[in-house]
């Protein structure tokens, strides 16, 4: 996967992805600019938007105007206990302009790429039973063989109690949509690009839909308490995810928004500006920049949707609506114009669908 210097999760529901050194960073920025150009009338690119995170242009910290970040939709932010898997797709994870050395390096990382067509770069799965996350890094994915890849991926869909077949089925449908897009386009080829899978790890048996009026009422209750005494969980966490070329490592520094809200109120009462300092550690350069983000009352109200839910330790019998699952394409530092179908990516998608189908059928 593309090496990320750092991904910063912002309370406004976006993430900041630092631009990589040229030519990779500018190539990724150019790709997003092309797809999200407001004058774009190419139906292929317009459809592609459905499968990407939304793009909000670039951003630089005031303290370091030369550091450029892509501002992207945080696909995980609507989930309470997001389970996340990053799968690199394609038969080659090096692009057509790669040096012999780069090709050798990429092939030796996972010699089966050509044969399997995809590689699990990492996963984070919420286990209901222990109320904790299990994380696997890229070494886990690279240890998978043709024989073990099915079980290796099925781990992502296991809650600690059962296999989430609803999620597997919904994932297959989403990947099939992306496959259809690839089968109909001959203008772009993707190398070392990934699919990001996200689903809700907590079983929502009852989700009370509150009307806006009720919400406005609840929001005025102090200390995040509902009149009934239930504590609202503010789920927008702030994470710092460090990633390096040799795989994605997550060092998440997270503060519940409730604590953050308390800090905000405290700061306001002291007549200070309510600013939260976000630190991003740059794993490759070891330098740290800080940026202050002003969190206003309005921000909080806009982003915090209290969800009342009872969590049961068994899956509800056949959920009526299909599982809440996101599958998005990410990492575009190696996307090139083309005049042929992207057969390597198509091969990987078809193989991945076959594996998912086998997990479902077993």
Distance CA 316, CA 170 (A): 16
Residue 11 has a pLDDT of: 87
DSSP 320-351: SSPP-EEEEEE--TTEEE-SS--HHHHHHHHH
Residue 4 has a pLDDT of: 41
Distance CA 131, CA 232 (A): 18
Which of helix, strand or coil describes residue 246?
Answer: coil
pTM: 0.70
Query: What mean pLDDT comes out for the span 284-313?
Result: 31
- Whether the predicted pLDDT of 181 surpasses 60: yes
Segment 3-38, tens digit of pLDDT:
344 689 988 999 999 999 999 999 999 999 999 999
- Whether the predicted pLDDT of 247 surpasses 80: no
- Whether the predicted pLDDT of 70 surpasses 50: yes
Average pLDDT of the chain, as a whole number: 76
- Whether the predicted pLDDT of 1 surpasses 60: no
Query: What mean pLDDT comes out for the span 113-125?
Result: 98
Residue 203 has a pLDDT of: 76
Query: What mean pLDDT comes out for the span 187-199?
Result: 98
Task: Give residue 334's pLDDT band: very low, low, confident or very high (50, 70, 90).
Answer: very high
In the numeric block, the tokens 């079983």 are attached to 203
């Amino acid at each position: 996967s593309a090496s990320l210097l750092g991904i910063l999760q912002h309370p406004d529901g976006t993430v900041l992805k630092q631009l990589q050194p040229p030519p990779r960073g500018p190539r990724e920025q150019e790709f997003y600019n092309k797809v999200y150009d407001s004058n774009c009338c190419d139906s292929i690119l317009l459809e592609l938007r459905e499968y990407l995170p939304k793009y909000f242009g670039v951003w630089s910290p005031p303290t370091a105007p030369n550091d450029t970040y892509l501002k992207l939709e945080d696909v995980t932010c609507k989930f309470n206990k997001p389970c996340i898997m990053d799968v690199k797709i394609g038969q080659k994870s090096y692009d057509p302009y790669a040096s012999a050395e780069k090709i050798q390096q990429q092939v030796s990382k996972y010699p089966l790429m050509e044969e399997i067509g995809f590689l699990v770069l990492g996963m984070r799965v919420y286990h209901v039973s222990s109320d904790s996350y299990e994380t696997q890094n890229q070494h886990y994915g690279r240890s998978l063989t043709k024989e073990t890849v099915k079980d290796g991926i099925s781990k992502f869909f296991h809650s600690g109690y059962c296999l989430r077949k609803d999620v597997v089925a919904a994932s297959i449908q989403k990947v099939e949509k992306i496959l259809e897009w690839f089968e109909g386009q001959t203008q772009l080829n993707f190398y070392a690009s990934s699919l990001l899978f996200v689903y809700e790890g907590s079983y929502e048996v009852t989700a009370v839909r509150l009307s806006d009026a009720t919400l406005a009422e609840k929001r005025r209750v102090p200390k995040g308490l509902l009149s009934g005494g239930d504590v609202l969980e503010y789920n927008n966490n702030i994470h710092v995810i460090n990633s390096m070329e040799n795989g994605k490592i997550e060092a998440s520094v997270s503060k519940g928004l409730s604590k953050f809200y308390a800090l905000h109120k405290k700061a306001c009462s002291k007549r200070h500006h309510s600013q939260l300092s976000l630190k991003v550690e740059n794993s490759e350069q070891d330098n740290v920049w800080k940026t202050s983000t002003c969190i206003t009352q309005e921000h909080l109200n806009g982003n915090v949707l209290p969800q009342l839910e009872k969590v049961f330790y068994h899956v509800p019998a056949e959920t009526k609506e299909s599982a809440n699952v996101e599958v998005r394409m990410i990492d575009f530092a190696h996307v090139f114009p083309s005049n042929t179908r992207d057969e390597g990516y198509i091969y990987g998608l078809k193989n991945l669908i076959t594996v998912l189908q086998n997990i479902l059928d077993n």
